[in-house]
Structure 1
Amino acid sequence: MEAFEYGLDYIPSWSSAWPSCLLCGIMIRSAQHSGPLKSYQKAIGRQLKRASEQDQILVPAKNVEEHYLVNYPWLGGCTFRATLCVIRLGTNYSFMIVTSDRNGCFHLRGICIADWSCSELVDFAVVPKDSSKARIGPRSVGIPVLPGPPRHDPAFSRFRLRGIRDARPEQQPSPGTGYLIHAHCWILLGREACEPMQTKLEWLDLNKLVQTARLMRAADKDSWTFRAERSPANPLVIPVFGLLLHSQNERRAKSSAVQSIQETNPKHPMNGVPMDIALLIAEDICRPDCNSWEATNLRNLLSVFEWALPESFWRRRVNENVFFELKELRKSNTPVNWQLLRLELMQLHGYPLNYRSGLRVRIQVLETLKELMPAYSKDKVEESSPSSNP
């Protein structure tokens, strides 16, 4: 008997039931308007040459994970996944659901778009059983709103939502319960966890990950519980980063003779200033944790004096773990004015509350994962160490 066969006899209170991501703590909001949902479904349908947007369709989860709608960048966070042991997620605002089987283990289920209201939290139960599938569009007539798909339907699973606000980490999760994780949180987790551990996302121990996250959430409830976010932007796809590169290419195309901020002019009167003095001036103007105004002042200074500051100065101010696009850009060997690009990123970073950039959500998720992964990695190392051998 699988977890979804236990039924939906658990309806938590509103305060704990409104879903929050297990990793970042941000509440997962619903795509409550039919227009964006239909547009999203129609775009996927056209891409896959599928039928009418009036019917629900099952498509490969990868197509949903990689699809990005410019007009609705927030809609991906309204898709979710259910799991019963190994995790994988969609992108943008998509999220997955972690569910446990009768033995308390966690396993993967497919992706759905959330279209519920506060009074319809059991709608979370409708998830494709196949982890490689995604349900796009409204449910068909054959699938009732409550309490979910028929039990005999082989394509879907259902589960009981477990609110992490009232979760007790010392207790084993009951069979058939589930936790939610944003899809973008899972992808960022893959960057944070898989690179240093030299592993794959599918190989992460989901049971250990859930337990570690529950312990961390229980120890720091005041800082994350019931954190309402109104449609923040996609933390994985930041369009403004592409605009910065595009503006650089346009400037380069207009006039190759125009001197860039990174180049030095041997005839400039300030070119004779020793680099250590220039660094003292630049560091006084722009601290490592600078705001947008300080970054703008530094940009004006370098534009006038035409200094090219060393790499060590920029590493302290532009975190490439946050701006991971820089690593990919460096591998592509694309001609870039690195000093100017970093200045513009520092100005962008100075507005962490900017919803449109998606950067605020990325920083918040990475900070959470920075706290989560050391404990997870430590437990994994202790479990795999040959301490029991003579």
Structure 2
Amino acid sequence: MATSLDDTEIDDYKEEIEDNNCLLCGVLCEIFYSKLVRPTRPTVLFGEEKWKHRRKAKAEHVIVPSKEVEEGYFAKYPFSWSAMCRASECPKSLLGLQYILTDTVIKQPGTTKYFLSGITTIESAQLFSYVIPKDPNVARIGRKTGNLQYDDTFIRFHAANIERQPSEFQGKNIGFIVHAHCWALFDYIIPTALVEKKLEKFIRAGRKYWRNNRLWGIQDWEQKLWKAGHGRTHNQGFEFGCDIYKNPLIVPEVQKVVDNARKTKKEYKPPRCSHVPLEVATMIAEWTCPVDYTADVKNTRNMLLAWQWTFPDWFWKVRLKEELFVELNSLRESNYSIDWQALRLDLMALVSDQERYLSSGLPNRERVIGFMTAIKSNFLKTA
């Protein structure tokens, strides 16, 4: 049962949180849990539908393909995404005795300065190092175990800061953390295959952006305490205009719209009013659905259904921020017969319904994509 915290306990709770922020979204890599729900307990993640069959093995942890994490939505514990992380690491053999991570590329025969790790589940407020798979194609699900093969399969590292590194990190492995889902979302902004080849540039680009951005390391404490069940009986609103703890990659509301579009094949129906010029039909539609629409698009939908009008892409693109809906990329590349007009109307209906829009997680995706776009710009400019 959740218990309430007094002001002193809340201050202590804040001070315990480490600065393990994602290099792409700026938010702490952690999960909100009660004493009964901890992300590193196998009984928690093995409770998800996709991993239920793993419970029979009664293992403390299992290794799964990284795609299972990056492409997965955790329906039972949706906030588990924030504890699933990768790291861009710098082995101690390359750091030598340096404890300040500089922007200088250190070269040694047969080695590179950074490498992208696999995925692991971490908890916040961990004062020691983390253990993570070396292979970027795998993810480790479950808790700590004393028999990890650090030399071959896993590596131990300390979470790096965008500023100077603590002196106790001298001679140790350090890594810049990114949420697994943020890394997958970043692939829509710039191919991560390119970024992996130039991780030094990526880290410099990210650090440069966040050093000048006050949103690095932000925390919405009322949201955090409410989600964790610490005496908050209702949601008191968002400090930063949206729920910064929503998964920016997996948005179930959008996925429902896309899945419905896949199932509903486009059918040709001859226009009932073919003698009306497109320019006139467009003027009528612009009256019912202006560019800066705020009302429900139901009237526009009914009008188009009644007259069987089909408008060109430009009409919809000025009304819908399609770059926000990364799910559309796979539809464009597929062979599905999609009714794009109906799909766009469904997405516009989601955006126009403020209550539904705010709870969907789309505002946080828009926030994070803004950060990623700026980091991409720095990356392309960095020598």
The answer to whether TM tops 0.5 is yes
Matches within 5 A, 1:48-127: 51-53=57-59, 55-84=60-89, 101-102=94-95, 104=101, 105-116=113-124, 120-122=125-127, 125-127=130-132
Once the two structures are TM-superposed, the CA of residue 84 in structure 1 deviates from its matched residue by 1.5
Describe the SS at the equivalent of 1:318. Answer: coil
For the Cα contact (< 8 Å) 2:118–2:133, is it kept in 1? yes
Task: Name 2:25's counterpart in structure 1.
Answer: 24
Match for residue 226 of structure 1 among 198, 211, 218: 218
Task: Name 1:187's counterpart in structure 2.
Answer: 184
Give a deviation string over 1:227-259, Cα, whole Å, max 9, x none: 43657444333333443355567877xxx9xxx
Matches within 5 A, 1:125-140: 125-140=130-145
Task: Name 2:317's counterpart in structure 1.
Answer: 315
**Identical residues among aligned pairs (%):** 29
For the Cα contact (< 8 Å) 1:113–1:135, is it kept in 2? yes
Once the two structures are TM-superposed, the CA of residue 62 in structure 1 deviates from its matched residue by 4.0
Give a deviation string over 1:100-125, Cα, whole Å, max 9, x none: 95164333333221234xxx322552
5+ residue gaps, structure 2, are 1-13, 102-112, 228-244
Distance (whole Å) between structure 1 residues aligned to residue 190 and residue 53 of structure 2: 32
Matches within 5 A, 1:1-40: 14=15, 17-33=18-34, 34-35=36-37, 37=39, 38-40=43-45
Question: For the structure 1 residues 27 and 286, does the alpha-carbon distance in structure 2 shift closer, same or farther, using more than 3 Å as the test?
Answer: farther
Distance (whole Å) between structure 1 residues aligned to residue 217 and residue 292 of structure 2: 27
Question: For the structure 1 residues 357 and 123, does the alpha-carbon distance in structure 2 shift closer, same or farther, using more than 3 Å as the test?
Answer: farther
Task: Name 2:289's counterpart in structure 1.
Answer: 286
For the Cα contact (< 8 Å) 2:22–2:179, is it kept in 1? yes
Distance (whole Å) between structure 1 residues aligned to residue 115 and residue 289 of structure 2: 48
Match for residue 159 of structure 1 among 157, 160, 174: 157
Question: For the structure 1 residues 215 and 336, does the alpha-carbon distance in structure 2 shift closer, same or farther, using more than 3 Å as the test?
Answer: same
Distance (whole Å) between structure 2 residues aligned to residue 289 and residue 328 of structure 1: 27
Task: Name 2:326's counterpart in structure 1.
Answer: 324
The answer on 1:217 being equivalent to 2:210 is yes
Distance (whole Å) between structure 2 residues aligned to residue 74 and residue 364 of structure 1: 18
Which has the higher mean CA deviation after the structures are superposed, 64-73 or 325-334?
64-73
Residue type matched to 2:176 in 1? Y
Once the two structures are TM-superposed, the CA of residue 343 in structure 1 deviates from its matched residue by 0.7
The answer on 1:274 being equivalent to 2:272 is no
Give a deviation string over 1:321-349, Cα, whole Å, max 9, x none: 32232232233232332211101111223
Distance (whole Å) between structure 2 residues aligned to residue 213 and residue 22 of structure 1: 6
Distance (whole Å) between structure 2 residues aligned to residue 201 and residue 24 of structure 1: 19
Distance (whole Å) between structure 2 residues aligned to residue 41 and residue 276 of structure 1: 57
Question: For the structure 1 residues 302 and 66, does the alpha-carbon distance in structure 2 shift closer, same or farther, using more than 3 Å as the test?
Answer: closer
Give a deviation string over 1:359-390, Cα, whole Å, max 9, x none: 233222222122221221122xxx4xxxxxxx
For the Cα contact (< 8 Å) 2:121–2:142, is it kept in 1? yes
Residue type matched to 2:57 in 1? A
For the Cα contact (< 8 Å) 1:84–1:109, is it kept in 2? yes
5+ residue gaps, structure 1, are 1-12, 86-97, 144-148, 384-390
Distance (whole Å) between structure 1 residues aligned to residue 254 and residue 276 of structure 2: 33
Match for residue 239 of structure 1 among 221, 233, 252: 252
Give a deviation string over 1:294-322, Cα, whole Å, max 9, x none: 54453344345543222211122234432
Distance (whole Å) between structure 2 residues aligned to residue 25 and residue 84 of structure 1: 18
Task: Name 1:6's counterpart in structure 2.
Answer: none
Distance (whole Å) between structure 2 residues aligned to residue 275 and residue 153 of structure 1: 67
Describe the SS at the equivalent of 1:121. Answer: coil
For the Cα contact (< 8 Å) 1:99–1:179, is it kept in 2? no
TM (norm. structure 1) is 0.67
TM (norm. structure 2) is 0.68
Give a deviation string over 1:109-164, Cα, whole Å, max 9, x none: 33221234xxx322552323444443322223x37xxxxx89x7765433333344
User: 4+ residue stretches of structure 1 with deviation over 6 A?
Assistant: 249-252
Once the two structures are TM-superposed, the CA of residue 177 in structure 1 deviates from its matched residue by 3.6
Question: For the structure 1 residues 205 and 301, does the alpha-carbon distance in structure 2 shift closer, same or farther, using more than 3 Å as the test?
Answer: same
Once the two structures are TM-superposed, the CA of residue 30 in structure 1 deviates from its matched residue by 1.7
Distance (whole Å) between structure 2 residues aligned to residue 115 and residue 330 of structure 1: 38
Distance (whole Å) between structure 2 residues aligned to residue 21 and residue 351 of structure 1: 30
